[in-house]
Amino acid sequence: MIYKERMTAQMQGDFVVFLIGMRFNQPWKIHQWLPVVRGMGQMLSELYSRPELGLVHHEMWFARTIIQVQYWRSMEQLLDYAKNKDAEHLPAWKNFNRHIAKNASVGIWHETYAAQKGSYENIYHNMPAFGLGRAGQLVPVHGKRDSAQERLVNS
């Protein structure tokens, strides 16, 4: 569904925006990057099948650099997942470090941001629910949400 009016997304409480991705430095070395791609797919399957781990939603874009935006309920849940010995992340991370990290065929990266009330704002116009608009709740932009500054104060 395309929302033709201006919309803004709201989240209940604090949340985390986690940007993660990889870069194909040597795209012809499929045997190097394919395990990294598969590992991310396995992690996402696990996270969506177990919502108590804290992932709320993700979006992904593909090019030479893959970019994924994840929305997490809390920093604690994100960090717990990263260290969880029974989850998909640690084996994938160890495999990357053991077999791929030193040869530079594949680069990986992430950035983590904690968001609290009053520290974020957004706008969507002629868009389907997307990004934070899918992770949170979309509401029409009017009144106290008309400008970016007002959305910051009223997020």
Can you give the residue ranges of every domain in the chain?
7-11+118-153, 15-115
Which residue did the predictor score with more confidence, 69 or 154?
Answer: 69
E strands in the chain:
7-10, 15-24, 55-61, 65-72, 106-115, 137-140
Which residue did the predictor score with more confidence, 71 or 117?
Answer: 71
Quick one: CATH architecture of 15-115?
2-Layer Sandwich (3.30)
Instruction: Band the pLDDT of 14: cuts 50, 70, 90.
Output: very high
> By CB neighbour count within 10 A (0-12 exposed, 13-18 middle, 19+ buried), where does 76 fall?
exposed
Per-residue confidence (pLDDT) for residue 5, from 0 to 100: 94
Q: How far apart are CA 82 and CA 93, in angstroms?
A: 9
Instruction: Band the pLDDT of 153: cuts 50, 70, 90.
Output: low
Per-residue confidence (pLDDT) for residue 116, from 0 to 100: 93
Instruction: Give the 3-state secondary structure of residue 78.
Output: helix
Quick one: DSSP state of residue 145?
Answer: G
Question: Is the pLDDT at 64 greater than 70, yes or no?
Answer: yes
Q: How far apart are CA 40 and CA 46, in angstroms?
A: 10
What residues does 9 pair with on adjacent strands? 138
